[in-house]
Amino acid sequence: MALYLTVLGSSSATPSLNRHPSAFLLRSDRMRSLMLIDCGEGTQIQLRRYGICMQKISHIFISHLHGDHFFGLVGFLLSQSLLGRKNTLHVYAHSPLKKILKMILDVDKTVLQYPLEFHTIKSGTHVLLEDDKIQVKAFPLMHSLPTHGFLFKEKGYPYLIKKSFLETHDISKQWVERIKNGEAYVDECGKSYPLEEIAEKENNLRSFAYCSDTAYYPELVRKVKNVNMLYHEATFMADLENAANDKKHSTTIQAANIAKAAKADNLLIGHFSARYKDIRPLQEEAQTVFPRTLIALEGVTFKI
Amino acid sequence: MALYLTVLGSSSATPSLNRHPSAFLLRSDRMRSLMLIDCGEGTQIQLRRYGICMQKISHIFISHLHGDHFFGLVGFLLSQSLLGRKNTLHVYAHSPLKKILKMILDVDKTVLQYPLEFHTIKSGTHVLLEDDKIQVKAFPLMHSLPTHGFLFKEKGYPYLIKKSFLETHDISKQWVERIKNGEAYVDECGKSYPLEEIAEKENNLRSFAYCSDTAYYPELVRKVKNVNMLYHEATFMADLENAANDKKHSTTIQAANIAKAAKADNLLIGHFSARYKDIRPLQEEAQTVFPRTLIALEGVTFKI
């Protein structure tokens, strides 16, 4: 199993020619549909640019209601309607967005031609979505508006049956299910097969945590403990820590400290201030604390 | 004198990778500041792409409240605030936009750091802006929402003083003003100079009419009579006239017929449906009726 994260927008509030406002696409091997995380202005054009089928997006998660995280949403919703979408779209966001959407659609005199389900993100930590394939949890960040991070965890059976065993034994569907859930197999003749001989622990279910926008917030560490990839905003370099504190954003070093304390496999930084034309120094600075720091380059897909 | 029109967005409602939602920049030799006409999603990035100084934009005219004509506005307003704008920005639009702006800025908890003056476009034809340099008039189009076109007319003195006369006579500022307004000059010795000898009629004041979105609407002809350039939407080719009628849009031929009847110097067509990958056939079709048809290519500046 794997998760794949495509960067669509890596800019902070004022976009530049090469950096768009926040938007990320997440795909899981376990899901047919796609998930969009934040939807800054121009996201629908970025999706086109990178050849992503927009109708496959089933869930959109909006971290907070600063414009650079949602100004592309209404355009996306309207275009989907014009393009003939019929399948349900789930939007997860803080409650005022529902009123904004309603007002704009009313003025536009548009009735979307597909079901739109709005799910309110509440305060505190809570599960937004859970099925047999994925769990998505929201947890609070520290910013100037109510803001949540999201933790995506692939779900699956605790055990994988060994291929060699499947090839040499004719196992019923029911038994496949029972073994994957950790039961030793007993065949028709009463012969017992210890679990460790016929199956191995599934340790390839992946997790991704998204934290944008936030001030340095050590509370985060326990929320994102041991994730395979942590996206943490790094609007500023360390010399602008005071500006970061004032604006409730983070520096490269602060992001790296969170990743280190959380024992993340990898850290991805983004939400870069427009003042940085060259963003490699931000990566290099974060790497002094957390060497496995990657940088959000638009159009790049990271396998998690 | 001249007007310069830069195309920032030539798409109809669903943008494509190479065509953005409606936005146009108008500059007059007579004005220091710039005017933006419509502001679809991504306009601020298009302005950057074509190297336009956003702080110089003093007036924004929004034709109607379909998303593809204003979803870039709030992002533009917020970015201007973050970038330190101090000078007043005038926005002309239909009244619901004021409520939408207020709601979004309230949710965003943003107080713009510069004065924003909202001017309501009313029903019928009326002057939106008039000073000694330009007049801007709104006139109704025929669309599925209240929609207005805009007529921009440069203003100036009725006469230009001949260079040769200025070089050989020492004329006071007051007399320059009086001659430009059509008065014959009398020098200190009482010698009279007939107007036609010292000045010529100013016939270089330019006009531009913007008509998007609209069904075929012959009433328009008298509103845009004799303009130097008419922008008229041409969402569809002539074979889709029924679709155009249904959606209250126009075809190439309909746009060309308006330009021909209005005796416009030039016609510029745009707002192309995403179904047309190659837009040259739209130009060729319009040219069968109105040979001086130009096509809205993004990034191109037309001297009017």
CATH number at residue A88: 3.60.15.10
> Which of A70, A71, A94 to mutate to test binding with chain B, by most B CBs within 10 Å of its CB?
A71
Q: Domain range holding A28?
A: 3-156+205-301
Amino acid in position A143: H
- Residues in A closer than 8 angstroms to B13, CB to CB, are 78-79, 82
Asked whether residue B87 falls in the same domain as residue B122, the answer is: yes
ipTM: 0.86
Asked whether residue B187 falls in the same domain as residue B223, the answer is: no
Asked whether residue B95 falls in the same domain as residue B215, the answer is: yes
Query: What's the CA gap between B1 and B6, in Å, rounded?
Result: 17
CB B24 within 8 A of CB B229: no
Angle formed at CA A93 by CA A36 and CA A101, multiple of 5 degrees: 95
Residue B6: predicted pLDDT: 98
What mean pLDDT value characterizes chain B? 95
Do B145 and A66 make contact, defined as CB atoms within 8 angstroms?
no
Residue B228: predicted pLDDT: 96
Query: What's the CA gap between B293 and B280, in Å, rounded?
Result: 11
pLDDT at B251 over 90: yes
Do B48 and A82 make contact, defined as CB atoms within 8 angstroms?
no
Provide the token pair at A202. Answer: 């599934």
CB A214 within 8 A of CB A142: yes
Distance from the B31 Cα atom to the nearest Cα atom in chain A, whole angstroms = 27
Distance in angstroms between the alpha carbons of the first and the last residue of chain A: 9
CA dist B254 to B48, B222, B224, Å? 34, 15, 15
Percentage with pLDDT > 90 across chain B:
84
Q: List, edge to edge, every strand of the sheet that includes B23-28.
A: B116-120, B89-93, B57-61, B34-39, B23-28, B3-9, B301-303
pLDDT at B39 over 80: yes
Query: What's the CA gap between B247 and B288, in Å, rounded?
Result: 24
Instruction: Please identify, among B169, B200, B231, the residue that sits at the C-terminal boundary of a domain.
Output: B200
How far out from the chain centre does Cα B256 lie? 18
CA dist B206 to A155, B30, B34, B87, B151, Å? 66, 10, 16, 27, 11
Query: What's the CA gap between A151 and A226, in Å, rounded?
Result: 11
Reply yes or no on whether B187 is catalytic. no
**Helical pair B280-287 and B252-262, crossing angle rounded to 10 deg:** 40
Do A14 and B79 make contact, defined as CB atoms within 8 angstroms?
yes
Asked whether residue A80 falls in the same domain as residue A191, the answer is: no
Asked whether residue A34 falls in the same domain as residue A133, the answer is: yes
Given the residues A38, A68, A106, A170, select the one marked as catalytic.
Answer: A68
Distance from the A269 Cα atom to the nearest Cα atom in chain B, whole angstroms = 22
Do B17 and A100 make contact, defined as CB atoms within 8 angstroms?
no
Interface of B with A in 53-82 (CB under 8 A): 65-68, 71-72, 74-75, 78-79, 82
Asked whether residue B150 falls in the same domain as residue B164, the answer is: no
Strands B229-233 and B207-211 come out as parallel
Chain A nearest-CA residue for B96 = A107
- pLDDT tens profile B50-107: 999 999 999 999 999 999 999 999 999 999 999 999 999 999 999 999 999 999 999 9
Amino acid in position A259: A
pLDDT at B203 over 80: no
Instruction: Please identify, among A146, A178, A200, the residue that sits at the C-terminal boundary of a domain.
Output: A200
Q: Which of B21, B48, B144 sits opposite A109 (nearest CB)?
A: B144
Distance from the B147 Cα atom to the nearest Cα atom in chain A, whole angstroms = 12
User: Where are the alpha helices (H) located in chain A, listed in sequence order?
Assistant: 43-49, 73-82, 96-108, 163-168, 173-180, 195-198, 220-223, 241-247, 252-262, 280-287
Residues in chain A: 304
Burial tier of B231 (Cβ tally within 10 Å: 0-12, 13-18, 19+)? buried
Strand partners, B293: B267
How far out from the chain centre does Cα A182 lie? 29
Asked whether residue A64 falls in the same domain as residue A168, the answer is: no
CB A234 within 8 A of CB A250: yes
pLDDT band at B204 (very low <50, low <70, confident <90, very high): confident
Residue A114: predicted pLDDT: 98
Residue A104: predicted pLDDT: 95
DSSP assignment of A40-62: -TTHHHHHHHTT--GGGEEEEE-
Asked whether residue A187 falls in the same domain as residue A293, the answer is: no
Asked whether residue B216 falls in the same domain as residue B277, the answer is: yes
- Residues in B closer than 8 angstroms to A107, CB to CB, are 65, 96-97, 100
Quote the pTM value: 0.89
CA dist B57 to A172, B4, B47, B138, B177, Å? 71, 14, 10, 19, 29
- Residues in B closer than 8 angstroms to A45, CB to CB, are 15, 17, 20, 41-42
Total domain count, chain B: 2
Query: What's the CA gap between A196 and A39, in Å, rounded?
Result: 45
Provide the token pair at B16. Answer: 């494509």
Asked whether residue B260 falls in the same domain as residue B172, the answer is: no
- pLDDT tens profile A203-236: 788 999 999 999 999 999 999 999 999 999 999 9
Do A79 and B14 make contact, defined as CB atoms within 8 angstroms?
yes
Distance from the B41 Cα atom to the nearest Cα atom in chain A, whole angstroms = 6
CA dist B283 to B14, B213, B233, B251, B286, Å? 20, 18, 12, 11, 5
- pLDDT tens profile A242-293: 999 999 999 999 999 999 999 999 999 999 999 999 999 999 999 999 999 9
CB A29 within 8 A of CB A2: yes
pLDDT band at B29 (very low <50, low <70, confident <90, very high): confident
Chain A nearest-CA residue for B72 = A41
Provide the token pair at A89. Answer: 């779209």
Q: Which of A17, A45, A71 sits opposite B74 (nearest CB)?
A: A71
Which residues touch B41 (CB under 8 Å, ≥6 apart)? A41, A42, A44, A45, A71, A72, A75, B15, B20, B21, B67, B68, B71, B72, B75
Compute chain A's Rg from CA coordinates.
21
Residues in chain B: 304
Asked whether residue B42 falls in the same domain as residue B176, the answer is: no
Tokens 């907070």 -> residue: A64
Residue B148: predicted pLDDT: 98
Q: List, edge to edge, every strand of the sheet that includes A266-270.
A: A126-130, A134-140, A148-154, A207-211, A229-233, A266-270, A293-295
Do A44 and B41 make contact, defined as CB atoms within 8 angstroms?
yes
Quick check: B283 contacting A, CB < 8 Å?
no
Quick check: B130 contacting A, CB < 8 Å?
no
pLDDT tens per residue, chain A (304 residues)? Answer: 689 999 999 999 888 888 999 999 999 988 889 999 999 999 999 999 999 999 999 999 999 999 999 999 999 999 999 999 999 999 999 999 999 999 999 998 889 999 999 999 999 999 999 998 899 999 999 999 999 999 999 998 888 899 999 999 889 999 998 999 889 999 988 899 999 999 998 878 899 999 999 999 999 999 999 999 999 999 999 999 999 999 999 999 999 999 999 999 999 999 999 999 999 999 999 999 999 999 999 999 999 9
- pLDDT tens profile B102-138: 999 999 888 999 999 999 999 999 999 999 889 999 9
Residue B52: predicted pLDDT: 96
Quick check: A102 contacting B, CB < 8 Å?
no
Asked whether residue A70 falls in the same domain as residue A141, the answer is: yes
Q: Which of A186, A180, A178, A185 is CA-nearest to residue A159? A: A180
Classified as helix, coil or strand, A98 is helix
